[in-house]
Structure formats: structure tokens, C-alpha cells
Amino acid sequence: MKFYENGDGLTEPRGFFCSGIHCDIKGKRDGNLDLGIIYSSKPCHAAAVFTTNDIKAAPVLYSQSLILDPKATFHAIVANSGNANACTGNQGKLDTIKMGKETARHLKAQPHEVFVCSTGRIGVTLPMSKITAGIRDACEDVMEGFDGAKAFQQAILTSDTCTKSCSAIITTRYGEICIGGVVKGAGMIEPNMATMLAFLTTDAGASNAYLQKVLQKAVDKSFNRITIDGDMSTNDSVIMLANGNTGIEVSSEDESLDQAFQKAVEVVCQCLAKKCVTDGEKVTKFVSIQIQGANSNKDAEKVGRCIANSLLVKSSWYGSDPNWGRIVDAAGYAKVGLEFEKIDMFYNEVPALQKGEPIERNKSQWKAIASQRAFTIKLDLNQGSGESEIWGNDLSEEYVNFNKSE
């Protein structure tokens, strides 16, 4: 497998085009790009995973309805930043439908062939006159073959400080297959997923059912393992399009091809998920929390999440304080029947606890590790064979200041 970061992402698979334009959705006249299109002239099969929040934005409900048809095909995704179109009542639903219809009209497609995604402030209706004009311009760009991969990446950002993209190429006995991806997300990050939009494209062919299986498994191993602040958004969406441009059909029937494709999608999703954490709002530390020896994988995940979401733990990480007491306390309120006397704990590979006994002679090493930009905390609960990994971050004063108001 060949793997690339920070490139064009979505347009690296053959037959996909992107655009990104400024239509001043927030009314700030700052020139920031805020609306984009992903387009394939060939019809695509698709898969999608959405927020589990009970309060779902109009674009999420709309796009969810499109994917219900197992034989549905798609040509495009239209996405905007600066406004989530969430909690906007019937007007929000009508605006979402109009976004889909306008995009389809300009691309000479059908409305049910266009996914709609939004991200930004909740509770404010969309400025539809600006949106429709922006859709017209963005569609013109993709129809003319405009190289807008980077522009699209910019157009979906909110509080992100950088664009996030990657791609993977697998060589099969039939030829090469490419999977590209981009993501936005820096806050309200807690699975299942977060104020996060992620888009994947591939030039392989596959059925909707097969793609859904692959994407769900990849999401469970990536986006559903990250947490920044414990909040969950109304707009989370991960959408994958497959246009079959290579003529290579992937399915569960070809085991070796299936495994290679699954692995490549997982690698792309995991890369994008980690980029979300490292670009979290005012984050200074990336922490991998590895739990093993639990009674079940579910128990291991609960322990990892309690640690990653503890404000006391996150604050100590910000201060580069290797406070193992806060970590085991957070693990304890996962309530999975832990016995402190059985726990082994490590900062990277340096022991902090062995069977519940602190290894004080290693304290200076813990401190040095906790001062690094990225490090690993591993807990062996010594109860069973369950394991899980969660990716989290610290909590800084700047995060609080940044989120005092919108």
C-alpha cells in the first residue's frame, strides 16, 4: 500500500472533481471559502455514517433518507461551513432540499443523487440567496474540470487551523485502486463522531451494501475512537463515494481484494481521525490511551473514554503532569469491576504502576514523556483479553477562552 498525507485527497481517485468558493455565509466579508462541491460524472455507489445525537440537523436527516435505497446512486456532495442549518425548523428542511435541487440542476443530475452537508453555528437559518449563487459558481467550476481539491478542503473548515487530507493506493492483480479522504473537525469531538464532516472517494466499484459494511467498520476503528471535549454535534457525517472508474469491482467474494480494500479505507479514516485530534481547538498534546486486559472490548473502551474525557486528567496533560492517580481514578468510575492491585500502567514503555504499586524511580521519565507533544498511556487491567484504543488530548486555558462565545 502507498500512503500519502496532505495532498489533494478527494480528487486523487480517478474521475472526481472538487470546487470551493466564497459566498459569505457568515456575512463577515472575510473572503474565506465556505461552500464546496464533490462531483463525479459517473454515477457512484455510496455509504454513509451519521451522528447518533437525538437532535439531528436538517442536512443529516435529508442525507440519511437518500442512502436508505439500497440501489441508490449519486453524483455529488454539496457542503457548506459557517452555518449548521440545525434546529432551524421547517425552513431548515426546505433550505436543505433546495440546496440539493440547485446542485442537481446545475450538474444535470437528479436531486436524490446529491448529498447535502452543513457545519457551523446552530439555530440560524441559511442565507439562501448567497447559497444558491454559490452553488451555481461551484458547480460551474467542477463541470469545467477546475482543480479545486484544496479549495474544497478550505471551504468546509470552521474552527480548524489547517486542512486535513490523505490518500492510499493499493495494487491488485487487476490494477491500482485509490482511496482519498478529507475531514474537518476541531471541537465538539466525541463519538459517535463529532462536529465533523469527513468525505472519502474511491475509483473502485462496489455495491452500496458492501461499502456500508466497509465504512462502518473503518469508522468504528477511527472516528469513533477520538474525543476532544466530550461533546457530540448535530451534524456529524462521514460519506464515501465509489465511481468504479477503474473497472475493478470490490466485494466480499474476493477475499484478498476485500481485505486490502478494507485495510486501505481504515488507514485513511484513522489518519483523518488523528488529524482531528491534533488540530483540536487550542490543543497542545495528542495522547493515545491503550487499554488491554479488560473483561471485554466494550469494558476496555469504557475505561479509555473515562480517562480521555476526564477534565482533571486533561488538565494535568496540559501541565505536563504525569498524574497517574487521576488516570486510575477516571478508570475506576467506568465501573467495570477494576481491581487496583492488578493494574499495570505505562507512560510510553516506562512503567508507572506494577500490580498497583507506583514505580517512583521512573518519575522523572514520566515527566519527560508527559511533556512531549504526543505520547501513549497504556493500562493493563489484567482481567481478561479485552482491549481498546482511544485518541484524546489535553484541555488548555485557550480552549476555554476560545469557546466562551461564538
* pLDDT surpassing 90 at residue 156: yes
3-state helix, strand, coil in the chain (%, to 5): 35, 30, 35
**162/266 same-domain check:** yes
Let me know if 96 is a catalytic residue. no
**160/75 same-domain check:** yes
Q: DSSP characters for 189-250?
A: B-SS-BS-EEEEEESSB--HHHHHHHHHHHHHTTGGGB-SSS---S--EEEEEE--TT-PBP
Q: Which amino acid is at 333?
A: Y
What pLDDT is attached to residue 289? 97
225-234, 260-269, 356-365: least confidently modelled range: 225-234
Helix axes 324-332, 311-318, angle to 10 degrees: 160
Percent of the chain surpassing pLDDT 90: 84
**153/216 same-domain check:** yes
Q: Count the domains in the chain.
A: 2
In this structure, what C-alpha cell is assigned to residue 275?
A: 488529524
SS3 66: helix
CA-closest candidate to residue 35, choices 108, 137, 123? 137
Q: Which of these three, 234, 249, 278, is where a domain ends?
A: 278
**40/185 same-domain check:** yes
What pLDDT is attached to residue 382? 98
- What DSSP designation does 33 have? -
What pLDDT is attached to residue 228? 66
What pLDDT is attached to residue 186? 57
**CATH code of the domain in which 332 resides:** 3.10.20.340
Q: Which of 96, 158, 163, 195 is catalytic?
A: 195
Per the model's pLDDT, the better-predicted residue between 403 and 313 turns out to be 313
Per the model's pLDDT, the better-predicted residue between 18 and 400 turns out to be 18
**223/294 same-domain check:** no
**CATH code of the domain in which 212 resides:** 3.60.70.12
- Determine the average pLDDT of the residues in 374-382: 98
Q: Which of these three, 278, 297, 323, is where a domain ends?
A: 278
Q: Which domain holds residue 301?
A: 286-402
Q: Which amino acid is at 116?
A: V
* pLDDT surpassing 60 at residue 187: no
107-111, 221-225, 316-320: least confidently modelled range: 221-225
**114/8 same-domain check:** yes
Q: Which amino acid is at 220?
A: D
What pLDDT is attached to residue 231? 58
**168/308 same-domain check:** no
Per-residue pLDDT band at 404 (split at 50, 70, 90): low
- Determine the average pLDDT of the residues in 217-231: 82
CA distances from 99 to 35, 50, 62, 118, 356 (A): 11, 19, 11, 10, 57
What pLDDT is attached to residue 196? 85
Summary mean pLDDT of the chain: 93
Q: Which of these three, 278, 298, 325, is where a domain ends?
A: 278
What pLDDT is attached to residue 279? 80
Per-residue pLDDT band at 191 (split at 50, 70, 90): very low
What pLDDT is attached to residue 303? 97
What pLDDT is attached to residue 402? 67
CA-closest candidate to residue 177, choices 86, 234, 248? 248
* pLDDT surpassing 90 at residue 78: yes
What pLDDT is attached to residue 194? 43
What pLDDT is attached to residue 188? 41
CA distance 327 to 99: 47
Contact of 170 with 215, CB cutoff 8 Å:
no
9-23, 86-100, 183-197: least confidently modelled range: 183-197
CA distance 136 to 106: 6
**69/156 same-domain check:** yes
**272/330 same-domain check:** no
* pLDDT surpassing 60 at residue 178: yes
CA distance 356 to 117: 48
- Determine the average pLDDT of the residues in 329-335: 97
**44/25 same-domain check:** yes
For 267-323, the three-class secondary structure string (H helix, E strand, C coil) is HHHHHHHHHHHHCCCCCCCEEEEEEEEECCHHHHHHHHHHHHHCHHHHHHHHCCCCC
CA-closest candidate to residue 3, choices 288, 277, 273, 269? 269
Contact of 46 with 112, CB cutoff 8 Å:
no
Per-residue pLDDT band at 397 (split at 50, 70, 90): confident
- Determine the average pLDDT of the residues in 332-353: 97
- Determine the average pLDDT of the residues in 106-122: 96
Q: Spell out the residues 6+ positions from residue 285 whose beta carbon is closer than 8 angstroms to its own.
A: 317, 318, 372, 373, 374, 375, 393, 394
Per the model's pLDDT, the better-predicted residue between 229 and 361 turns out to be 361
> How does pLDDT run across 343-361, given as a tens digit for each residue?
999 999 999 999 999 999 9
**156/78 same-domain check:** yes
* pLDDT surpassing 60 at residue 365: yes
pTM: 0.90
CA distances from 58 to 64, 73, 158 (A): 10, 21, 19
CA dihedral of 389, 394, 400, 403, whole degrees rounded to 10: -40
What pLDDT is attached to residue 52? 83
* pLDDT surpassing 90 at residue 230: no
Helices (H) and strands (E) in the chain, counts: 11, 15
- What DSSP designation does 390 have? E
**9/93 same-domain check:** yes
